[in-house]
Amino acid sequence: AAAFSQSFVDMPRPGRPLQVAVIGAGLAGLSCAKYLSDAGHEPIVLEARDVLGGKVSAWQDKDGDWIETGLHIFFGAYPNVNQMFTELGIRDRLQWKSHSMIFAMPGQQTTDGFQRFSRFEFPDLLPAPLNGLVAILLNTEMLTFPEKIQFGIGLIPAILFGQKYVEECDSLTVTEWMSKQGVPDRVNDEVFIAMAKALNFIDPDNLSMTVVLTALNRFLQETHGSKMAFLDGPPPTRLCQPMADHMLARGGELRMNQRISEILLNDDKTVKGLKMQDGSVVVADAYVSTMPVDVLKLMLPDEWRPIPYFDKLNGLTGVPVINIHMWFDRKLTTVDHLLFSRSPLLSVYADMSLTCKGYRDDEKSMLELVFAPAKDWIGRPDADIIEATMDELYRLFPNELNKDGSGAKLLKSAVVKTPLSVYEATAGRELYRPVQTSPISNFFLAGCFTKQKYLASMEGATFSGKLAAKALADAAAAGTIPLKEAASAVAA
Ligand code: FAD
């Protein structure tokens, strides 16, 4: 990742910097703009909303508390994101947690009445994959020894045939793969329902096995791959703003509240300009869309729709997910980590008053919880969602929360619904993910749904932006992007 970043800085400076309109200021857009500016070009980032970050965006409520679009975890196996923090000089903002994976055991209590957890502890002194194997072998609460062995045998083809096998498994759901490999159903129920919901907000009956194998591969190959970090505060100020500042300092531009409504074409189907919602038109030398795939599909010009590259996008759709915040009048837990809920409605959760310096509170808890699968709940009122979540929390916190109201009190809550979030990684989706270079010479794509090996994640988004910036800068150097006339002459 460091060498890839350096390649932008080392590129020969362009004779005339390209003005590049980057649509969207999520991680893909900001990453693309950053690296374009490193290569000596002039990105103009056009963001529809008044907040940076897209799916990592956050805002303050009337009390000044931060509301986030999603509970976000950074992994050791995110080379480009970690490199971004280094390049921006903000590595200290990543708060790394102990190298463990902690699963809740809903309904089960310790002898003194507290919630029970089951931990996979990765020993610090051992390299990958030994640390992962020891973590799995030492956990005795969730899987029996024969179940672990059967799962291990099921993984042999992945170990022997590597990435090719991982990609072939896209035709199977996690559940189908488990039964094909003779892995007992309990492995699925105990571990992979929680993992599937955490990876893509859907159940293993729907999730592509490629997603799980990709994650396992990274975790088993990289010593710190499964180590997790929380950002120390809201992503827009703690991460996105420094990304924007980097490109602004190098001649880039950021325009907020700029929603594009139409992509205007020349006769040869190249992009002529972007029509904005206020009627104005933005003209650049080249264009990068980082809009979510569902928005992009609506925005495609009719002339592009029959082109296979764009037609393929119809195979991708965003998955619904709900992010919940709950403030309690006292501390519910002392666990400073991400927790896999293993409960029907929830995916993962964390007490952000412990895990995140910026939200620290020594007296009270602020739980952030990912509610998934959310397809049957996304249209329901917030009050129903909170009530259903409370029902799960009574089982997760048997000692702290009581239905009779005698335990901790819920002070307030906030529900953030994202009806179409990251692309739904059901079996067979890999075929539909587009590469960053489109058949249109001055139009490129980025976004976590575009083709890269890190799936729909912050790393995937950041890496896709970097790949699009590279493809564009290379095309500019090769002279394959038609330059616009007047305005660019002024810009030069
Ligand atoms: P987006 O963030 O969607 O950015 C697209 C941008 O385009 C937005 O800013 C949008 O406003 C803008 N836009 C849209 N339409 C227009 C228009 N017409 N004109 C101008 N601008 C427009 N990933 C992890 O790695 N770890 C996690 O723990 C994790 N947890 C998650 C939890 C939740 C609840 C969610 C929703 C996501 C989570 N993710 C996680 C995934 C991660 O957030 C995304 O993969 C990533 O942020 C996507 O970035 P992006 O730039 O591709 O897209």
Residue 491 has pLDDT above 50, yes or no: no
Crossing angle of helices 458-478 and 79-88, in 10° steps, is 80
Q: How far apart are CA 117 and CA 74, in angstroms?
A: 22
**Amino acid 490: pLDDT:** 37
User: 321 CA distance to ligand 1 centroid (A)?
Assistant: 12
Ligand 1 pocket by Cβ (under 6 Å): 23-29, 46-49, 54-56, 69-73, 259-260, 290-292, 295, 321, 323, 370, 418, 421-422, 447-448, 456-461
**Amino acid 472: pLDDT:** 98
- What is the number of the ligand 1 atom nearest to the C-alpha of 259? 19
User: 54 CA distance to ligand 1 centroid (A)?
Assistant: 4
Q: Enumerate residues 6+ apart whose C-beta is below 8 A from 119.
A: 100, 101, 102, 103, 139
196-212 pLDDT, tens digit each: 999 999 999 999 999 99
Residue 421 has pLDDT above 70, yes or no: yes
**Residue minimizing CA distance to atom 41 of ligand 1:** 457
**Residue minimizing CA distance to atom 14 of ligand 1:** 291
**Amino acid 486: pLDDT:** 46
Q: How far apart are CA 303 and CA 233, in angstroms?
A: 44
User: 26 CA distance to ligand 1 centroid (A)?
Assistant: 6
User: Sign of the C-alpha dihedral, residues 112, 115, 118, 120?
Assistant: negative
**Nearest alpha carbon to residue 337 among 225, 192, 229:** 229
116-146 pLDDT, tens digit each: 888 999 999 999 888 888 888 888 888 888 8
- What is the number of the ligand 1 atom nearest to the C-alpha of 323? 34
Quote ipTM for the complex: 0.99
**Amino acid 485: pLDDT:** 66
Using an 8 Å Cβ cutoff, are 105 and 116 in contact?
Answer: yes
Q: How far apart are CA 369 and CA 355, in angstroms?
A: 13
The best mutation among 254, 291, 377, 454 to test binding of ligand 1, ranked by most ligand atoms within 8 Å of the C-beta, falls on 291
Q: How far apart are CA 69 and CA 57, in angstroms?
A: 6
DSSP classification of residue 208:
B
As a whole number, mean pLDDT of residues 381-402 equals 93
Residue 275 has pLDDT above 80, yes or no: yes
The best mutation among 49, 55, 457 to test binding of ligand 1, ranked by most ligand atoms within 8 Å of the C-beta, falls on 55
Q: Which residues of 99-112 are buried (b: 16+ CB within 10 A; e: fewer)?
A: bbbbbbbbeeeeee
- What is the number of the ligand 1 atom nearest to the C-alpha of 458? 25
Quickly list H helices, 181-270: 185-187, 193-200, 209-221, 235, 241-248
More confident residue, 127 or 161: 127
Residue 156 has pLDDT above 80, yes or no: yes
User: Sign of the C-alpha dihedral, residues 295, 298, 303, 308?
Assistant: positive
The best mutation among 84, 422, 451, 455 to test binding of ligand 1, ranked by most ligand atoms within 8 Å of the C-beta, falls on 422
User: 414 CA distance to ligand 1 centroid (A)?
Assistant: 19
**Nearest alpha carbon to residue 201 among 373, 340, 317, 375:** 373
**Residue minimizing CA distance to atom 43 of ligand 1:** 55
User: 70 CA distance to ligand 1 centroid (A)?
Assistant: 9
User: 53 CA distance to ligand 1 centroid (A)?
Assistant: 7
Q: Which amino acid appears at position 52 of this protein? A: L
Residue 219 has pLDDT above 90, yes or no: no
Output the six-digit token pair for 61.
């409520």
As a whole number, mean pLDDT of residues 160-178 equals 91
Residue 435 has pLDDT above 60, yes or no: yes
More confident residue, 491 or 146: 146
Q: Is 73 helix (H, G, I), strand (E, B) or coil?
A: coil
As a whole number, mean pLDDT of residues 408-430 equals 97
pTM above 0.80, yes or no: yes
- What is the number of the ligand 1 atom nearest to the C-alpha of 465? 51
As a whole number, mean pLDDT of residues 175-193 equals 89
Q: pLDDT band at 105, cuts 50/70/90?
A: confident
Q: How far is CA 430 from the centre of its chain?
A: 17
**Nearest alpha carbon to residue 80 among 448, 473, 477:** 448
Burial of 482 (0-12, 13-18, 19+ CB in 10 A): middle
276-320 pLDDT, tens digit each: 999 999 999 999 999 999 999 999 999 999 999 999 999 999 999
Q: pLDDT band at 189, cuts 50/70/90?
A: confident
**Residue minimizing CA distance to atom 9 of ligand 1:** 54
Residue 492 has pLDDT above 60, yes or no: no
- How many angstroms separate the Cα of 82 from the Cα of each of 9, 53, 217, 229? 18, 17, 18, 10
**Nearest alpha carbon to residue 430 among 409, 410, 455:** 455
**Residue minimizing CA distance to atom 30 of ligand 1:** 72
Using an 8 Å Cβ cutoff, are 263 and 299 in contact?
Answer: yes
Output the six-digit token pair for 486.
């007047």
Residue with tokens 């490999």: 181
Q: pLDDT band at 488, cuts 50/70/90?
A: very low
**Nearest alpha carbon to residue 415 among 459, 460, 380, 391:** 380
Output the six-digit token pair for 397.
């916190």
